[in-house]
């Protein structure tokens, strides 16, 4: 009878320990994925800002010159 209790206790202890190990690894995977996603979104946003700036500069370069009204 006492042996059954010790076996159950040991099984629960091992299962809890294994669950903690796996959950720790899962948390690290998710944290890495969140970091990678945030980096990609930041890079993409930077490229969008750069493209908008280049577009504004290109549009300014092609604007017709204002007529001379000093006459």
Mean pLDDT for all residues in the chain: 91
The more confidently predicted of residues 66 and 30 is 30
Residues across the chain: 71
The pLDDT-based confidence of 1 (bands split at 50, 70, 90) is: low
**What are the sequence ranges of the domains in the chain?**
21-56
Calpha distance 68→60 (Å, rounded): 18
- What is the DSSP code string of 6-69? HHHHHHHHHHHHHHHHHHHHHHHHHHHHHHHHHHHHHHHHHHHHHHHHHHHHHHHHTSPPPPP-
Whether the per-residue pLDDT at 71 is higher than 60: the answer is no
When mean pLDDT is compared over 1-5, 20-24, 67-71, the highest value belongs to 20-24
């Amino acid at each position: 009878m006492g042996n059954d209790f010790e076996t159950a206790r040991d099984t629960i202890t091992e299962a809890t320990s294994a669950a903690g190990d796996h959950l720790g690894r899962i948390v690290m995977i998710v944290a890495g994925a969140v970091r990678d996603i945030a980096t990609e979104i930041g890079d993409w946003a930077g490229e969008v800002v750069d493209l908008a700036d280049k577009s504004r500069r290109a549009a300014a370069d092609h604007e017709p010159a204002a007529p001379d009204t000093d006459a």
